[in-house]
Structure 1
Amino acid sequence: MAETEILSNASENNSDQFFEGVEKLIEIWFTPAKNADLRRIPRQQWEKVLKIVRCEIISFTQSEQVDAYVLSESSMFVSKRRFILKTCGTTTPLRCVRAVLALARDVAGHERVHNVFYSRREFARPKAQLQPHDNFDSEVELLDSYFGDGRAYIMGPEKDCWYLYTLLPLEGTVDALEKEQIQVNCCESSEPDQTIEILMSDLDPAVMDIFSRASSATAAEATKASGIDKIIPGMVIDDFLFDPCGYSMNGVAKDGCYMTIHITPERACSYVSFESNVPAASYDDLIKRVLDAFRPAKFVLTVFASPDSPGADTPRQLKKISSLFAFEQKDAQFVRFAGYALHYALYCKFPS
């Protein structure tokens, strides 16, 4: 998160400095097509897209299967047929969807959208967001204008709810690119896929202090001191430490797996997000490493898994857990849709 963004969100009282760490996550899957590849889209074109979003590229790394960009506000991942954009602050990621669909068609050769996922946790200060992100109804309306009638979910209690939009499991077309149409088909077969996201708030101040220039001279120093480098061993890490505080990292592996972490360390609004598509039959050990590293008082956990992925049974396993590593499960929901199982849960630390 850029220093200018932090300062622009600060109140007149410097002790109440605020930054919206909660991210908006848009993920678009395209149907496989001969010679089609989103990685053919040049960086200059992505930079134009990100201007619409109100952020910019800071750093870049890649594996054989995924291009990973650290942004001034979080991250972007581009693989052969999947586009992921995750941005915090007052960014406007849904405004760029039309441009992404045009590039996917005209440059990358992708004519069909296979599925779409848009999600976010409830903002700390929703009134500070720009349209359409000032309310979920407006976000859904804009997404439907691109993709047709989607399915919208609101999970969890009001102050800690998690919003999700995905496509209906029906074939159809949408007028997403002026008079030309891009087809939507989320019934076709897909590759195995699973994603875990841990969205943490009210974090240990001692841990958060690591992610400031006053405590860490470099991003690498913060990565090692916090134990981030040990969460998923074998990842090639691209990290960035903001000035005066804040941290972002992407990790990529040869097999196409990624992880990404973003940290807003200010005590009045501490927030950390963790996300990865690493395959696992059980996420218990990974969750423990993440919680041990950041020590939150509260977190939202979501797990998506397709039926043919290694983690196909993981959502059901998580559903059966009544407590997790000294945390009490306050809310949990399990749903199936469009070839995926989804588990959502809210955890709060047991009173001392």
Structure 2
Amino acid sequence: MAVSGFEGFEKRLELHFFGDIDDDDGNNMLGLRLLDFESLEQVLLAVQCTVVAAVGNPFFDAYVLSESSLFVYPTKIIIKTCGTTQLLKSIPPLIHFANNLGLTLQTCSYTRGNFIFPKSQPFPHTSFQEEVIYIEHNIPDNLCYRKASVMPSKLTAHSWYVFTATLLPPLKYPSHATFTVEVCMTELDRLIARKFFSRDSKTGDLAGRDMTELTGIDTINAGAFICDFAFDPCGYSMNGIDGDRYSTIHVTPEDGFSYASFECVGSVYDDPDDIVETLKKAVRVFMPATVSISTSRCSREVWTKVARALQPLGLKCQSFAMDEFPAAGSFGAGGFPRVLSLVSSNSGFSRGTLPTIGGGGSCICYYCYC
């Protein structure tokens, strides 16, 4: 492992707002999408990143950033940033601009995995304790249902850090029809990682398109419109839009700290096998040595299928941890999230036993190949 390098593990912030975004005829339901580009630039300036590509549809806007992605819905914003960005510094300006649009913060969710280079992180990301203090200082006091927790794993490098805050008691929080799956992959196959280095000095969207097709990323969800971007001298990001759902991939290919992430949204009304196939395709693209998967608002059926999806790739369930949070963002909407840790190896693979998972909630699992 390199002593220092680019931090691939993302910080993820999800903010939900409420307010009257309709006129008397029920039109103009743009909400947060009315934020002009100048306002978004101010937010990203605080975070220390910029927009490099953008795409939108009738449901939401998706921005590829110099460090990961931003998604803007009428009443929801999701920001993922990697490197040494200061993601949490986006909270004050986002609340300010939302208030100017007549919107009020309802839930805040902050999650991240273990940094590869934690000592390189700037304030307020120097520790989870500092992150929690910063968030609590910058969100309204009426988001009084709060919880911060670290879910450990037998893989010491794979803990998960979660903070949620919401206005509503968990039992009164509305249920959601969608769920989120996040996949974090490290130690990518070297031959595959090389495909994410720029060639012939080509960068930008054209080089990004080449990488998308060369690696098979375009086959993960063939129905999505992909906005992709290649960085110099290496690295890749893409956002996919498919109706009201997004998917996103970010790749740091350098040897010694290679990393790729995949995130997508599913629906409780979908065939659970669809999300399982999507997950398997994403993992197969990168062939990583270690994979960690987090799911939120998943039913027992969906989660069990997701957890078992990697078994044919040579994975064994080894350990798990569970926790519950106030309903907020990607952790906790619809009830009490739970977190599950799994470790698997393709060295003498055995099936293993999946722990029982009830109801909707959040689960995090860890896999590794030996």
TM-score range, shorter chain: 0.7 to 0.9
Letter of the aligned partner of 1:60 in structure 2?
A
1:27 is matched with which residue? Answer: 14
2:25 is matched with which residue? Answer: none
How many residues are matched? 316
For normalisation by structure 1, the TM-score amounts to 0.83
2:159 is matched with which residue? Answer: 161
2:197 is matched with which residue? Answer: 212
Paired residues of 2:228 and 2:238 also in contact (CA < 8 A): yes
Paired residues of 2:11 and 2:81 also in contact (CA < 8 A): yes
Question: What is the root-mean-square deviation of aligned Cα atoms in Å?
Answer: 2.4
**Structure 1 residues 79-158: aligned runs within 5 Å:** 79-107=73-101, 109-111=102-104, 113-145=105-137, 146-148=139-141, 149=144, 150-157=146-153, 158=156
For normalisation by structure 2, the TM-score amounts to 0.79
Letter of the aligned partner of 1:209 in structure 2?
R
Question: Are 2:268 and 1:287 aligned?
Answer: no
CA 237–256 in structure 1, closer or farther in 2 if over 3 Å, else same:
same
CA distance in 2, matches of 1:330, 1:230: 31
1:246 is matched with which residue? Answer: 235
1:40 is matched with which residue? Answer: 34
- Describe the superposition over 1:96-137 as per-residue Cα deviations: whole angstroms up to 9, x where unpaired: 201101111103x212x2322111111011111001101001
CA 169–343 in structure 1, closer or farther in 2 if over 3 Å, else same:
farther
How many Å apart are 1:147 and its aligned residue?
4.4
Letter of the aligned partner of 1:54 in structure 2?
Q
**Structure 1 residues 1-352: aligned runs within 5 Å:** 18-31=5-18, 33-35=20-22, 37-107=31-101, 109-111=102-104, 113-145=105-137, 146-148=139-141, 149=144, 150-157=146-153, 158-167=156-165, 170=168, 187-189=172-174, 191-214=176-199, 217=202, 218-253=207-242, 255-279=243-267, 280=270, 281-282=272-273, 283-305=275-297, 313-318=301-306, 323=311, 325-337=313-325, 338=327, 339-340=334-335, 341-349=361-369, 351=370
CA distance in 2, matches of 1:167, 1:312: 24
CA distance in 1, matches of 2:88, 2:17: 17
CA distance in 2, matches of 1:313, 1:32: 34
Further displaced range: 202-211 or 148-157 = 148-157
CA distance in 2, matches of 1:346, 1:77: 26
Further displaced range: 137-146 or 186-195 = 186-195
Letter of the aligned partner of 2:114 in structure 1?
E
CA distance in 1, matches of 2:77, 2:183: 20
SS in 2 for 1:296: coil
CA distance in 1, matches of 2:115, 2:300: 30
How many Å apart are 1:187 and its aligned residue?
3.6
Letter of the aligned partner of 1:204 in structure 2?
D
CA distance in 2, matches of 1:126, 1:168: 28
Letter of the aligned partner of 1:66 in structure 2?
F
CA distance in 1, matches of 2:284, 2:47: 33
Paired residues of 2:109 and 2:165 also in contact (CA < 8 A): yes
How many Å apart are 1:331 and its aligned residue?
3.4
Further displaced range: 56-65 or 311-320 = 311-320
SS in 2 for 1:243: coil
CA 238–298 in structure 1, closer or farther in 2 if over 3 Å, else same:
same
CA 170–188 in structure 1, closer or farther in 2 if over 3 Å, else same:
closer
Further displaced range: 22-31 or 186-195 = 186-195
